[in-house]
Amino acid sequence: PADIASMIERRNGLLGPGYQLFYADPIEVTAARGVYLYGRDGTEYLDAYNNVAQIGHCHPRVVEAVSRQLATLNTNTRYLQKPLLDLAEHLLAHFPAPLDRVTLTCTGSEANDLATRIARHHTGAGGIIVTANAYHGVTSSVAAYSPSLGPGAPLGPHVRTIAAPDPAAYPDEVALIAAVRDDVRRAADDLTRAGYGVSACLLDTVFSSDGVFTHPPGVLRALADEVRSYGAVLIADEVQAGFGRTGDDWWGFARHGFVPDIVTMGKPMGNGYPVAAVVLRAEIGRAFETAVRYFNTFGGSTTAAVAAQAVVTVIEEEDLVARARQVGASLGDALRDLADGTDLIGAVRGVGMFYGVELSAGGSSGDNARIAREVVNRMRRAGVLISASGPQGNVLKIRPPLTFDQTHVDRLAETLAAALRSVDR
């Protein structure tokens, strides 16, 4: 429609075209509730991608807590305020020992920036290891270790990448683990030779922008062991995998049977209200605390604290981790059934409410990316929202709210099936 076109033109003029929108045919969203986003004309869209709305859009618990707090007090974190302490206690109760400290920030980028600063002070080293197509955020320090941003945002000289291995490419887990350990050694030895040393390996616990690779339990534990053998710390980025999404625990690292030294989280934490965090062992933060004054005006502000407190409470009370496991299992089955019926799907990967569907029948990878974009846009026109990701742009990414039910899974699968049938090859 003409008025949508003029809104896009206005947006480009005001914000610049770099500020990209979802979908070739963008939606003007004006409201949301539960698993649905609504367009201005009342059109309903099933949201199966936007992992901010982890407990469902506009959850009444969050709305009520935030509204009440905003009308009472919302200010600078340098005053003594109980909501921040209550949140810290409640959040830490969901972490295994020895993770016993938390610092609140406003965004996932800030959390990763802080986590890697802490790691550098703790280890006295400067080098950082990430996966080959990782995304960890927007600040200049974090962009320097976010290879998915491409050549326009080059990696820092202190950064080395390791592969995000496809488990299906290895004969067994032993071979996969051996390859992962070799790769970490190569990157770490290179950083040591270059004089940086290794401060940290920062990893998504589900390799998301690398193509949604979920590894057999235990693989990341082996990786963490190898990283620690260099005196470096393992930082788990739980911005996407955290808060129950993997369906077996609150955090993606739990499947792998290890405890990271530092954990970062964000996006779903306030269910839309900006709040993020770094959780760590107090001992690891000591050198940083001694050397640097860290202060974040809005990180864990009164309102942010009650928003996150509401999210944590709802995940517990609505048993959303178990729900992610149950409904997620059915989502996985539905996607694998689809894969059996089409030559367009090369692989279905994922766990809980986090799936990647790799398209691979289009010939060159360029074709697959075009087909993926077209599938995403066809689904959007049919009222179901997903996205495409991965180094080649050919992996459909599905990350619904944890409140999805079987009817939503059915609608998603039917709409995806129709899009795959009708897409131009």
Q: How far is CA 43 from CA 10, 403, 415, in A?
A: 23, 20, 16
Q: Decide whether 197 or 272 has the Cβ nearer to ligand PMP.
A: 272
Q: Which is nearer to ligand PMP, 262 or 334 (CB)?
A: 262
Q: Which is nearer to ligand PMP, 197 or 400 (CB)?
A: 400
**Full DSSP string of 291-312:** H-----SSTT-HHHHHHHHHHH
Taking CB atoms, the residue at the shortest distance from ligand PMP is 108
Contact 372, 425 (CB under 8 A): no
Single-letter code of the amino acid located at 15: L
Q: Which is nearer to ligand PMP, 112 or 161 (CB)?
A: 112
Q: How far is CA 120 from the centre of its chain?
A: 23
- Give buried/exposed letters for 265-290 (b at 16+ CB in 10 A, else e): bbbbbbbbbbbbbbbbbeebbebbee
**Which position has the token pair 């618990």?**
61
Beta carbon nearer to ligand PMP, 63 or 138: 138
Contact criterion met (CB below 8 Å) for 406 and 416 = no
Give least dist CB 238 to ligand PMP, A. Answer: 8
Nearest distance in Å: CB 136, ligand PMP: 5
Q: How far apart are CA 300 and CA 84, in angstroms?
A: 6
Burial class (CB in 10 A: 0-12, 13-18, 19+), 364: exposed
Return the number of the residue (107 or 199) whose C-beta is nearest ligand PMP: 107
**Shortest distance in whole angstroms from residue 399 CB to ligand PMP:** 10
Residue 242: CB atoms within 10 A of its CB come to: 29
Cis check: omega of the bond before 98, within 30 degrees of 0: yes
Furthest CA-CA distance within the chain = 61
Nearest to 179 by CA among 223, 233, 228, 224: 223
Q: Which is nearer to ligand PMP, 389 or 394 (CB)?
A: 389
**Minimum separation from the CB atom of position 401 to ligand PMP (A):** 16
Q: Report the alpha-carbon distance of residue 297 to residue 313 in Å, rounded.
A: 25
Least distance to ligand PMP from the beta carbon of 107, Å? Answer: 3
- Alpha-carbon distance of 213 to 355, in angstroms, equals 9
CB 224 to ligand PMP: min, Å = 17
CB of 240 to ligand PMP, least distance (A): 5
Give the residue with the Cβ less far from ligand PMP, 266 or 272. 266
Bond preceding residue 157 cis, omega within 30 of 0: no
Nearest CB to ligand PMP, comparing residues 219 and 277: 277
Rounded to 10 degrees, the C-alpha dihedral 106/112/118/123 comes to 180
Minimum distance, C-beta of residue 138 to ligand PMP, in the bound complex (Å)? 6
Q: Shortest distance, CB of residue 385 to ligand PMP, whole angstroms?
A: 16
**C-alpha closest to that of 141 among 123, 125, 124, 153:** 153
- Provide, rounded to whole angstroms, the least separation between the CB of residue 276 and ligand PMP: 6
Of 308, 272, 304, nearest in space to 69 by CA: 304
Determine the residue type at 408: H
CB 264, min distance to ligand PMP, A:
7
Q: H helices within 124-218, ranges in order?
A: 140-143, 173-193
Q: Indicate the residue among 260 and 362 with the shorter CB distance to ligand PMP.
A: 260
Q: Please identify, using beta-carbon distances, which residue of 197 and 211 lies nearer to ligand PMP.
A: 211
In what helix (H) or strand (E) does residue 235 lie, and over which residues does it extend? strand 233-237
Please give the residue ranges that form the binding site for ligand PMP (CB under 6 A). Answer: 107-109, 112, 135-138, 204, 208, 237, 239-240, 266-267, 276
